[in-house]
Structure 1
Amino acid sequence: MKTTARNQGHGFTLVELLTVIAVMSVLVSLAAPALSSMAKGSQMTQSLIELSGTLDQARQYAISRNTYVWVALRPNPNGPNGDELSMVVLASKSGTDPQPWSDYGTVPNDQIDLITRPRTFDQMRFEEAGKYTKNEIPGLDGKSATSITNTPSDNTAVFRVKLPGAASLIDFSRVIQFTPTGEARVSSSVIDVIEFGLHPTRGKAGDANNVAVLRVNGLTGQTAVYRP
């Protein structure tokens, strides 16, 4: 009897299928950490783009509307997913600075407008100015950790804002102010550099190599992002 192509072909045996599945399982397990790292890196990149973009937009808003604008941050290490960082942007309704920096305290809500929707970055840890140096991020200049002390002000100005899903108002006390001339301040004094660091986390463990520094030039109000 003549043998046809169908007769000559044959499928995989059970042993061959199990071998292929085992090899694929090993490859997937090896690739998983790399894929997870890529995903975390992508999330960090997106967060940095949004944060730096918001700082730039706040500066432009202050200049174009001839008013005072605040980018207010709220680090929270006890969020539902661990560390989180919330951000709001507010502007003076009257175009004037409500109070001198030394007298701020809680700014009355009838004097300010919320100009963007509140935003929360999950698994993101806020770090003080000087936390990261050129040792962690080679692109940073030679300034020592002790020479960078101007971080978003803590409890100098406080804004009370209701976050989506929250039952009550929440205090935002880490504040950068942009003036009508585009300067950035964290006090009444003229400032060279304002800085804060970011460290993405998963629970309480994070990737030490996936960090960043945002620096705001005090005179120009422009923001620069530094990463390893």
Structure 2
Amino acid sequence: MVAMTGRKTHSYAIGQRGFSLIELLVVIAIIVLVTALILPAFTSIKSAGDLTSAAYTIKGVLEQARTYAMANNTYTWVGFYEEDVSQPSTNPPTPGVGRLVISIVAAKDGVQGFDPTAVASATNRLDIARLIQVGKLTKIDNVHLPLFAIPTGTPGNTFDTRPAVQNDPVVGYNDSRFGELNASPPNTAPVSNNGSSKFPLQYPVGNPVPTAQYTFTKTLQFDPRGEGRINSSYDVRPVIEIGLLPTHGNVAPTPTPSAGNFTGNVVAVQLHGVAGSVKVYRR
């Protein structure tokens, strides 16, 4: 009887070896270098996406306020406030840069309740007790509302070719746009009533009137026809502009090379005062 015995065979690759330490260090260095080169591009893309998202959020707020006014045959107001994004939303808030707070309110009886052509007074005012809140507060982080230079070219569909706002013979452009909400006049827009609405609104609203957390001195009003007016007291403007810039924390970008001119990611949201259409212009 012959016994069969199995034999294990081993194959060895001749000339194979692992990476040396120097080779591994070279590969790691290349990876670090490539990452450093492409990271700013990804950051820029994210920033542009965030700014575009913020613009369309504002567009949605304006359309909601206008639709509510027309559907309920009443007046609505949109208030704008900018606070310090490095601080939590407190009561009272911390004015600053980086967090935009937006509120919509409506007249619950369909009446404006004041004479926009007259001086504000104890009897000629926006009565907070007659207002209702429309939806929740909208808060957008890492954005700032600047004043952009007025475009001068042929109107188109980009930021640099967007339509120009109306140049009022007395106050210039600043009654047709929102920007630098916490700045002092004349470096703020609109410039009416020393930079503030004659008829400010607050959050929250109700009857009896609650203690205010936010007081909105920059407002946009829609009437039952859907027409938009800045600070409640002006003629309908053909174009109302809200500019947007990305911020680095509570620091806004510096204009380059001159006031109102910014490089990089910029967005303008424009509302047609009569037609009510809202359009976003990007660079």
2:237 maps to 191
Amino acid in the other structure paired with 1:131: A
1:62 maps to 69
Q: State yes or no: 1:179 paired with 2:223.
A: yes
5+ long unaligned stretches in structure 2: 1-8, 88-96, 179-189, 191-195, 205-210, 254-261
Once the two structures are superposed, residues 10-42 of structure 1 have per-residue CA deviations (whole angstroms, 9 ceiling, x without a partner) of 433322222211110011111111111111111
2:149 maps to 131
Once the two structures are superposed, residues 75-119 of structure 1 have per-residue CA deviations (whole angstroms, 9 ceiling, x without a partner) of 33x442643221111111111112222455763332111112112
Contact 1:216–1:222 (8 Å) recurs in 2: yes
2:276 maps to 221
Residues 204-213 or 62-71, more deviating: 204-213
| TM-aligned CA distance change 1:6 to 1:87, over 3 Å | farther
Secondary structure of 1:122's counterpart equals strand
Secondary structure of 2:151's counterpart equals coil
Q: Please show how residues 1-228 of structure 1 align to structure 2 within 5 Å.
A: 4=11, 9-76=16-83, 78-80=84-86, 82-101=97-116, 102-103=118-119, 107-128=126-147, 131-134=149-152, 137-141=159-163, 148-149=173-174, 150-152=176-178, 153=190, 154-162=196-204, 169-186=213-230, 187-203=233-249, 204-206=251-253, 208-228=263-283
Question: CA offset at residue 67 of structure 1?
Answer: 1.2
Amino acid in the other structure paired with 1:58: A
Please give the root-mean-square deviation of Cα atoms over the aligned residues, in Å.
Answer: 2.9
Question: CA offset at residue 132 of structure 1?
Answer: 4.4
Q: Distance in 1 between matches of 2:81 and 2:72?
A: 26
Contact 2:106–2:131 (8 Å) recurs in 1: yes
| TM-aligned CA distance change 1:188 to 1:205, over 3 Å | closer
5+ long unaligned stretches in structure 1: none
Secondary structure of 2:199's counterpart equals strand
Query: Which one has the bigger strand percentage?
Result: 1
Residues 189-198 or 103-112, more deviating: 103-112
TM-score by length of 2: 0.68
| TM-aligned CA distance change 1:112 to 1:133, over 3 Å | same
Secondary structure of 1:80's counterpart equals coil
Query: Which one has the bigger helix percentage?
Result: 1
Q: Radius of gyration: which is bigger?
A: 2
Residues 134-143 or 56-65, more deviating: 134-143
Q: Distance in 2 between matches of 1:55 and 1:16?
A: 59
Q: Distance in 1 between matches of 2:144 and 2:76?
A: 24
TM-score by length of 1: 0.83
Contact 2:165–2:241 (8 Å) recurs in 1: no
| TM-aligned CA distance change 1:5 to 1:159, over 3 Å | farther
Q: Distance in 1 between matches of 2:104 and 2:12?
A: 72
Amino acid in the other structure paired with 1:17: L
Question: CA offset at residue 188 of structure 1?
Answer: 4.2
| TM-aligned CA distance change 1:196 to 1:3, over 3 Å | same
